Structure formats: structure tokens, C-alpha cells
Chains A and B, each alone.
Chain A
Amino acid sequence: MGCSSSLPDRSTGRLGGLNVSESGGVADAKNLRVKLVLLGDSGVGKSCIVLRFVRGQFDPTSKVTIGASFLSQTIALQDSTTVKFEIWDTAGQERYAALAPLYYRGAAIAVIVYDITSPETFTKAQYWVKELQKHGSPDIVMALVANKADLHEKREVPTQDGIDYAEKNGMFFIETSAKTADNINQLFEEIGKRLPRPSST
């Protein structure tokens, strides 16, 4: 346990983890509750995606996230199930990766974000995928999100690269724009559909 996190926080973390997957993760068959973590390089728009999804707002000059921040949002799917997302939006700077395990441990979903205008952030996204494959929970649902799709004239990462990488790693891929709200709700709806349902239906 202690090794799957940067903070070797002993049995307490495990206790928490168990709670999340057993009681905390899923409320009942029709009302799901999931922990979601957003990872990705600094400035790719993680906080903007969350703010767009939760509050429907876009602020081009949002604050730097220190450590992590939390928001939650509930959506209803077409099959009349509701999903309450408990979203941890993490800090992007490289050294904050030391704290990331604190947040992605026990998460059912990881949304890894990159910026289509910056190949560097795409590389960073791949780093996160590997990190989660190594240290995340084995049944974690991963989504690869190519953000800032509105800046297509500045695009430097081809859509196909994202699709290929996602396919190779069994991830769900989507291009979004927090600025224009393009595909933001779709992203979370698709995630909701892909969630493992409790077998007791």
C-alpha cells in the first residue's frame, strides 16, 4: 500500500481505499458515485474542463491550482441512472506529481488531458498513462482528452495520434474545448456509460 503512493500513509489510506471501492464508490445500481481524477501537464485546461462541466463557465484567466481542488457534479444518463462525479483536479507542474498518488489512489476514473497545440503535453499525458498503469487501481477507467480543440489552426498534435495512442492503451478518446464547451458534457456522459455497474441489478 505504502508503495502505491508517494505518501506512505499506512493502513489509513488502505482503509479509505477500501471504503471508496466498497461503499463509497457505488451508492446503488441506479445512483452511481465515482471518484474521478484529472491529470495532465500544467496549463492544458484541467481546471477549465471541470469548471465548464460543473458550473458551465469558462474563465480564460483561471487561477493556478495548488495541490488539488475538488468539485462534484451529478448527471443523469439515458438509462435513467445518475452518476455523481467526485472530481479531483490536480496541480499540473511536474513536481506536484509527487502528490498525485494521494489523489488518484482509489479513483475509478482518470481523465488525462493534453493540449492539441503542444506536443509536449501529449508526451506528458503518456507519462501519466504509464504511471497509472503501474500504480493506479487495475480496473481504473482511463480517458484521454485532447483539449483546446477550438485552436485548430495552432494544432500540433494530430487527432489520429491521440486516437491511436488511446486505442493501444484501451482508453476512451475525445477532443474537447472547455472554451466553446464542445464535447465537455459528452466526455462525462461517455465515462458514465463505461462505468462498471454493480452486479446486483
Chain B
Amino acid sequence: MEKSFNLLHIIQHRRDGYGFALRPQHIQRYREYANIFKEEEEERSYKWSYFIEQQQKSNHSSSSEEERRAKLQAEADELREETVSERGRQEDDSSDKNSDSDGSTKSYPGKVVQLSEQPEKKSNLRRRCNFSKEPEKEVKLSEEPQKEVQASQIPGRETLLSKESDKEGQLLEETKARKVKSWSWTRPSLHVIENMMSSRVRNIKDLKDRHNTINGDHLPSIKKTVSSGGSSAAEINKELWIKETSDDNVDESTEESSADSKLAPESFFPWKELEFLVHEGVPKDLRGEVWQAFVGVKSRRVERYYEGLLAEETNTEQSKEHNNSKAAPRKWKKQIEKDIPRTFPGHPALDERGRDSLRRVLVAYARHNPSVGYCQAMNFFAGLLLLLMPEENAFWTLVGILDDYFDGYYTEEMIESQVDQLVFEELIREKFPKLVNHLDYLGVQVAWISGPWFLSIFINMLPWESVLRVWDVLLFEGNRVMLFRTALALMELYGPALVTTKDAGDAITLLQSLAGSTFDSSQLVLTACMGYLAVTEARLLELREKHRPAVLVVVEERSKGGRIWKDSKGLASKLYSFKHDPGSLVEEKKIPLPDPQEHVVWLKVELCRLMEEKRSATLRAEELETALMEMVQQDNRRQLSAKVEQLEQEVADLRQVLADKKEQEAAMLKVLMRVEQEQKITEEARIGAEQDAAAQRYAVNVLQEKYEKAMASLAKALSSPRSVSSSVESPRRRIGLFGLGWRDRNKDKDKPSNDDSGTS
């Protein structure tokens, strides 16, 4: 077991559990989620088998449960034996469809690829008895682990795992031995679901028929009255919706309260429970058949129809004279041929034979519904379906999806797809005004991104786990509501990141890459289903009706060619100046055209379009005005005034601080000056003292000299007494003068030097 898990990892290195290529940047994240997916898968396998068992119990209370369990166990054992025995003799021959061949599951590691082979004759022997072994065995073998779960609840899960591992080991031989079975019935255990859904299909058929004959509305409307004037498809959808809701009241549930049976027209059925299960995902092993049940393949299928379409195709190919009448199919065939190798390139299941199946399904659909023919995107749908179910089943499922769910979507004009984009834009403006404001500012149109999302039903846009989960819900609900909810959920999840982008390119790149890494499929589906309950089919129908005329007018213009186009372009630009100068537009309209009748038609179209545009423009203007007001009020005014206040406060504070500082500075300055002055005085005193000292030293010298002179003269005087008395008197007088000068110096600076010079 561990070994096979390792193998699984090696194989998964570049492809996910469904065999689809992983982008290199996603491998790491895929690994992180792979275990979560595995756990979720186990949980839902268990829940589904329990649910189905409960349904069977309530439907067939006659047979005792033990009996049934025993039978199932026996069958499971038998099937296992069969598998083992037949594994040995795998033939690689598919041309001989009636030959008995291996019934083993052609399962890729992802456990999704289940192109199993069943003997044709067995399907002819089909009986509807649920508990006879025959039909149970004819169910694709992928059911086997599932049945084990049913038969022995908890041990079954372990068996499921080991079975998967076995299959993984078998991969290489099996790819070689794969054969394509054209048709297989869904397992009887799913018949309850199948029957419920088939009644939905019958309702649509009834309505379409009735709509073709009587063109009035005759259904009791509950919520919205049917407004006339829409295209037939929309009308039918609306009526269908009304019928479904009215079924709530009209149909009486057999035993228990009818509160749960929202859509149940025939008998009690726990819709809420099933819905809950679907939101959590359909188990891989059941997915193919559950999808068929949801789409109502059983009641759609017409015996031999598919073969008929293909036979017709080969006939026309042989007789090439009918070139003219078959020109359109020829064109489609060419496109199909171009696209087949470009559909899930490199997927292990789409080998030569897989591609042949894909080609047949697409060509058959183009013949079945020539008003649609072939449109790119269908190749992916058919390719996906072929990975989950046999060829003819895939064809009928595709028919159901394209003819009912996506009626008008992939036609030549793609009208409904354009309408849906307008509807989505309105919804997103309503739900995420700020995000849309930002995108408007960047010049990004939501439809650039959501358009491809819707057209591809998220294939190649999200990781596969998420795509399949979205498809689960979409096919269950039977309409396109899930497209809108998923897209809104993506915007909710990634809007906060988007508003940080600074240019259009970054915003688009970011959204694309974020969407591409939405590995948390449960979060996505739950956000979509729980968060946008207000986005209902009724609401969408209403919005589609509102936006459809605008699309129709443009399509009409386009088909008519350039002339009106150009004229209306002029008019349209004038429409924009309408608000500024209403007079000019009115004048323009008065100018007569050559052919009055044509002119009238043209004017009507114009008027219709202009009114629509005007209404939209007014709405938009209001929206913008509101948004602007909001922005100005909230962001600017409040913020600005708060800021101003804050700044003012700050300024005041700063001023106070500044004043304080100034005061301090002044005080400091004063102190400084005083200190300086003191210093100066001290310095002066020092200099004075020094000078005094020098003067005194000088005086001492002079006195010394004089003393010596005096002594000398004294000695002389000894010889002559007269001269001695005079020389002693004179030095005494000078000393008196000097002493006065020294005292004055403390008061006046200049004087001492004068005195000095005087003394010297």
C-alpha cells in the first residue's frame, strides 16, 4: 500500500489526481491539498453511500435489509472475482464490441477515468428490478468499491483504498487495454435521484411543447408574474421555475412533511439532504453517474438516436456532392478537428481512441443541434464528460447541459452569454461597489475576466478539484445560478487583494493567478452557495430580461453591417453630450433620411437602444454620484477634517514647545552673558595684575638702579656733601607718582599703559 502511494506521488508530480497537467507554480500547493482532498473524498464516499442506502430502504421497504445486505455482499464478492479473473485476459481490441471482454475498471490513478467495457447484449437484457444481480453487475465496475462500502460500512472504506492502490498499479497495462463502451445505464441505487431529475427534464420538455403551441401563460405564478416579450428560451426557463416552485404547493408528499421536498414533484425526496451532500461534493466513483442522473440522461435518451447521427455523418462524408447543403457541418468538422488535439493535451485518457470518442460526440452534437453546431469550449466539456462516463452517456449529458442549462449560450451570436455578462456586472456592482470602483479606476472591465470564466464553466480557470465541485452543484441545480455564485465568491475571496493593485495589467494577472490557485474547493463552493443565496434563478431571469434587449439590438446592428453601425456611433457619442446640451440631439433626430420606411425601422431600433442606453447611463450616473458622495464624505471630508484637527493640535503643541524653548534659550543667554562678562572681568583683572607685577618688577629694577646710583653718588657725596642731598630727594618724588597711577588702573584700562609709558 505504501509503495503504491509512492507511485501515486511520482505520477502526480506533474499531473493532478484527475490526470490533468498541473502548472509548475501550483505543484507545491496541490501537494499541500492532496491529503485534504483525500480525506474529504473518504468522508463523502461514506456519506453518499449512507444516503443512497437510506433512499433505497425507504423505496423498497418490502425486502428486508439483511437480505439485501447479503445480496450486495455476494455481488461484490462475485464482481471482485470477475475482476481478478478477467484482469489476465485483457484484449486490446475494441472493434468487436459484442465480444465478451474485461469488465475491469479502466481507472487512472485519479480514479476518474472510467471508460469501461460491457458486453452490448447485456444491456439489451436489462431489467429494472433493483435487486436482480443482472443490472447491478452491468454497472461500471468503478462502482465496486462503492458497493463494498454499502455492504459493509466501515471495513468498506479500507477496501476502497486498497482497491484504488491496485488500480494505480495497473495503470500501464490498462491504458493499453482500454476500450470504449458506447452506453451504460446508471446503477440502480441511483435511480431514485435519476427519477427525480428526470421529472425536471420532462417539465422542460412539456413547457417547450406547450410554448410552441399555445403562447400564453397559463401557469399559476407564485412570486413573479411572467412578463411577456422575452425570447422563448427565457420564457420557458421562467415558467419552469415557476412550475417548480408551484410544485411546492401543488404536490403532496406522501408521508412526511413537504417542507423538505422543494423540487419534488412526484414523491417524497429529501432534497435538502441531497443538496447538502452535493455542496460537499460528489464522490469520484459516483460522479459520472450522479451527473447523468442530475442532467436526466435517462429521460433524454432516445434509443438508436446517437448511432443514427453518427451513421448520417459517415453517409454524407461518402457522398461529397452535397457540399452546399452540408457546408455548415463541414465548417464545424474542420474546427473540431483543429481543437481535438488541443483538448487537455497530454491527458493519458485522451489517446487515439479517446480522441475518436471526443470527435464522435462533438460531431453528433453538432448534427443534433445545428443551431449551435460546434463552439469552442464544448471540446472541453465533452472531454471532461468522456473521462467520467461512456461515450453515448457523455453525448446525452452534453446535450442536456448545452440544450437546457446553457440554451442560447454557444449559438452563433452567443446572445445569452453576452446577456449573462451584463447581468453579472450588475450583480457585482451591487455586491462589491468598492471593488468595482477600483476596477473602473484602473480601466478594467469585469467581463474581460468573468466572460472566459462563464464560457468555459471554469474549466482551465480553477484547479480541477474546484471545477468539478462547481460542476457538481451546477448540474444538480439545473441552471446557471452556480456560475454567478462562484464568480461572486471568487470576487469576495480575492477582492481585497485586487484593490491593492495599481494598474490594469497587475489586477488582471493577479485575479487570474489567484483564481488558478483556488485549491480550497470546499471554501469556494460553500462561499458561493451560502454567501449568495439571494442570487436565485428568479432574480437572474429578471435581470436577463432587463439586459437582453440591449444585446439583441447590438447583434441586430452587427448582422446588418456597417452603415447603421457608423450612424449610431455618431449618435451614441451625441448621446453623451445629451446632458450638457439636450437641444442638439433632438435637432439631429429631425433630419429626414431618404427612405421613410427604412428610416422608421431604423429610428425604432435607435430609439430602443437610446432609451436603454439612457436608462443605463442614468443608473450609472446615479451610482457614480452616490459612490462619489460616499467617497468624498467618508474618505475625504471626514478624514481631512480629522487630519486638519490633528495637525492643528500638533501645531499648537509645537508652538507651545517652541515658546518654552525660546524662553529657556533667553534665560540661558542671559546666564551666558553674565558668565561671559564675569570671565571678561576676571581676565582683565588677571591682565592688570600681571601688568602691575611687571611694572612693579620694573620699578624695583629702577629703584635698585637708583639705589645703586644713589649709593654711588653717596659715596661721591661723602667727598662733596651738597650733591648728595639733592640726588636722594628726586627718587622719592617719582615713587609717589607711580603709586597713584597703579591705584587708578583698576578703574580705567587705558591709563595704566599711559602711566607705564609715563613711568618708563
Contact = CB atoms under 8 A, between A and B. Distances in A.
| B339, B376, B441, B572: most-surrounded residue (chain A CB, <10 A) | B376
Contact of B342 (A61, A95, A99, A135): A61
Contacts of A81: none
B653 interface: no
B335 A61 contact: no
Q: For the side of the interface on A, what is the size category?
A: 35 or more
Contacts of B566: 134
- Indicate the member of B341, B448, B451, B505 with the most A CB atoms within 10 Å: B505
Contacts of A6: 418, 551, 554-555, 558
Interface string A1-30: 111111111111111111110011001000
A66 B569 contact: no
A20 B613 contact: no
Secondary structure dominating the interface of B: helix
A63 B335 contact: no
B460 A8 contact: no
Contacts of A123: none
A24 B568 contact: no
B553 interface: yes
A17 to B, nearest CB: 7
A70 B342 CA distance: 18
A46 B443 CA distance: 24
Interface residues of B, number: 69
A159 interface: no
Nearest to A13: B445
B49 interface: no
Nearest to B512: A70
A2 B609 contact: yes
B562 interface: yes
Given A67-B455, A91-B376, A11 B422 contact: no
A11 B620 contact: yes
Contacts, number: 173
A67 B452 CA distance: 5
Contact of A61 (B346, B443, B512, B613): B346
Nearest to B342: A64
A42 interface: yes
B418 A98 contact: yes
A33 B375 CA distance: 34
Contact of B551 (A7, A33, A61): A7
A17 B443 contact: yes
B380 interface: yes
Interface in A64-109: 64-72, 84, 86, 88, 91-93, 95-96, 98-99, 102-103, 106
B204 interface: no
Contact of A2 (B411, B508, B613): B613
Nearest to B566: A134
B617 A102 contact: no
A180 interface: no
A64 B455 CA distance: 12
Contacts of B375: 93, 95
A43 B425 CA distance: 31
30 contacts: A3-B572, A7-B422, A8-B613, A8-B616, A9-B421, A9-B422, A9-B445, A9-B447, A16-B443, A19-B440, A20-B443, A20-B504, A23-B443, A33-B505, A43-B338, A61-B345, A63-B344, A66-B380, A70-B508, A70-B512, A72-B506, A86-B504, A86-B505, A93-B375, A93-B376, A95-B410, A96-B376, A98-B413, A98-B558, A102-B448
Interface of B: 335, 338-339, 341-346, 375-377, 379-380, 410-414, 417-418, 421-422, 425, 440-445, 447-449, 451-452, 455-456, 459-460, 503-506, 508-509, 512, 550-551, 553-555, 557-558, 562, 565-566, 568-569, 571-573, 576, 609, 612-613, 616-617, 620-621
